[in-house]
């Protein structure tokens, strides 16, 4: 399962570079979707650890290429209306709820290996819809002649990516241990499921509100507010787990710590990486934030959980978010891109 995370570090950047070099994103998405399905079929032909490791590595390598390229394509279609990105992204959140709740209900009655067929169905769905999504040719931009390394070296870009990496790291202990932590403190598993659902519902709500939010607040202020909420949220989870009211409030804050933050971060990345660098920018964001940051948070949280306990692990998450906030306030600004 670690291959899903490891490949998110390397795969998006490699495929994003190729997409910007050729100017063809959707054909690469289609090819990657087809190869991810082909690789995944291997789970039905062997049960050995080494075999499944290879299958997951190949599937993840191709599957990880799809999302950042579709994100870049979406932003190209939304040129001049970037604030509407959240309304489109909300469908991913809805899909998450349907998958978790729907599969949970099915697996109460179906054998556990049904999940292999379900994942295959999702991958086939990605392949099918990749043939419907229209290509959006990258618009020429004055930064096309600027090497992408020069953009990456800008202090405000480094601050953005560093802050996003730390925000993803802050969520590592949460995604890894939240359910275990709640159950160990007497919460019913059904209640845990509803708490997860509450967070995603709030996330969807803020995605639909992003056009209005972006009209009244700067991207920097949205990002800073989201990071501040993350500092508070993970402290509440760590030290007030026995208070249902405060845990509910912590889940409501998911609207800010993921929903508002992700939408604002996508808009900020789009501000700096345009034209022929757009796919690379989205790929860098995915690789650094969710690849490196997610891995760092999960591993760091795991060691903290094992050696120090649950509260220090969530305390570490708050510190990650606080560090991201300090970097953002110190160096980030939306200078001309």
The full set of domain ranges for the chain reads 2-133+141-331
**Which three-class secondary structure state does DSSP give residue 275?**
helix
Q: Is the pLDDT of residue 86 over 50?
A: yes
Q: What is the mean pLDDT of residues 59-84?
A: 83
Burial class (CB in 10 A: 0-12, 13-18, 19+), 194: middle
Q: What share of the chain is helix, strand, coil (3-state, %, to 5)?
A: 85, 0, 15
CATH number belonging to domain 2-133+141-331: 1.20.1250.20
Other CB atoms within a 10 A radius of the CB of residue 42 amount to 15
Q: What is the mean pLDDT of residues 20-30?
A: 84
pLDDT computed for residue 158 by the predictor: 93
Confidence of residue 337 (pLDDT cuts 50, 70, 90): very low
| pTM of the predicted structure, to 2 decimals | 0.81
Q: Is the pLDDT of residue 148 over 80?
A: no
By the 8 A CB rule, do 86 and 212 touch?
A: no
Any residues with CB less than 8 A from the CB of 160 and at least 6 apart, and which?
265, 268, 269, 272, 328, 332
Q: How far is CA 130 from CA 30, 74, 126, 133, in A?
A: 6, 13, 6, 5
Q: Is the pLDDT of residue 13 over 90?
A: no
Query: Which position has the higher pLDDT, 262 or 98?
Result: 262
pLDDT tens digits along 257-289: 999 999 999 889 988 887 777 778 888 888 888
Confidence of residue 141 (pLDDT cuts 50, 70, 90): low
Average model confidence (pLDDT) for the chain?
Answer: 88
pLDDT computed for residue 171 by the predictor: 95
Task: Give the Cα separation of 196 and 189 in Å (integer).
Answer: 11
């Amino acid at each position: 399962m670690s291959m899903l995370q490891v490949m998110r570090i390397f795969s998006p950047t490699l495929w994003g570079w190729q997409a910007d070099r050729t100017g063809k994103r959707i054909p690469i998405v289609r090819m990657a979707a087809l190869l991810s399905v082909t690789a995944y079929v291997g789970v039905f032909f062997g049960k050995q650890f080494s075999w499944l490791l290879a299958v997951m590595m190949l599937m993840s390598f191709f599957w990880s290429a799809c999302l950042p390229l579709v994100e870049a394509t979406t932003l190209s279609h939304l040129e001049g209306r970037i604030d509407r990105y959240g309304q489109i992204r909300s469908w991913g959140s809805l899909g998450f709820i349907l998958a978790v709740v729907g599969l949970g209900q099915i697996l109460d009655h179906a054998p556990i290996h049904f999940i292999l067929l379900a994942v295959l169905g999702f991958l086939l769905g990605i392949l099918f819809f990749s043939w419907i999504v229209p290509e959006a040719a990258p618009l020429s931009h004055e930064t096309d002649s600027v090497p992408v390394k020069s953009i990456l070296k800008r202090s405000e870009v480094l601050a953005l990516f560093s802050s996003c990496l730390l925000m993803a790291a802050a969520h590592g202990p949460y995604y890894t241990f939240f359910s275990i932590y709640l159950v160990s403190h007497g919460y019913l598993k059904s209640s845990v499921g509803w708490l997860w659902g509450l967070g995603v519902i709030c996330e969807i709500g803020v995605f639909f509100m992003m056009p209005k939010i972006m009209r009244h607040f700067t991207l920097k202020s949205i990002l800073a507010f989201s990071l501040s909420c993350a500092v508070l949220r993970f402290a509440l989870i760590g030290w007030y787990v026995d208070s249902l009211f405060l845990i509910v409030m912590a889940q409501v804050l998911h609207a800010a710590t993921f929903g508002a933050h992700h939408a604002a971060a996508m808009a900020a990345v789009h501000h700096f990486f345009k034209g022929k660098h757009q796919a690379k920018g989205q790929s860098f964001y995915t690789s650094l934030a969710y690849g490196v940051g997610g891995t760092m948070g999960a591993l760091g949280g795991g060691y903290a959980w094992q050696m120090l306990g649950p509260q220090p692990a969530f305390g570490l998450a708050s510190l990650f978010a606080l560090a991201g906030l300090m970097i953002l306030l110190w160096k980030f600004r939306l200078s001309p891109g």
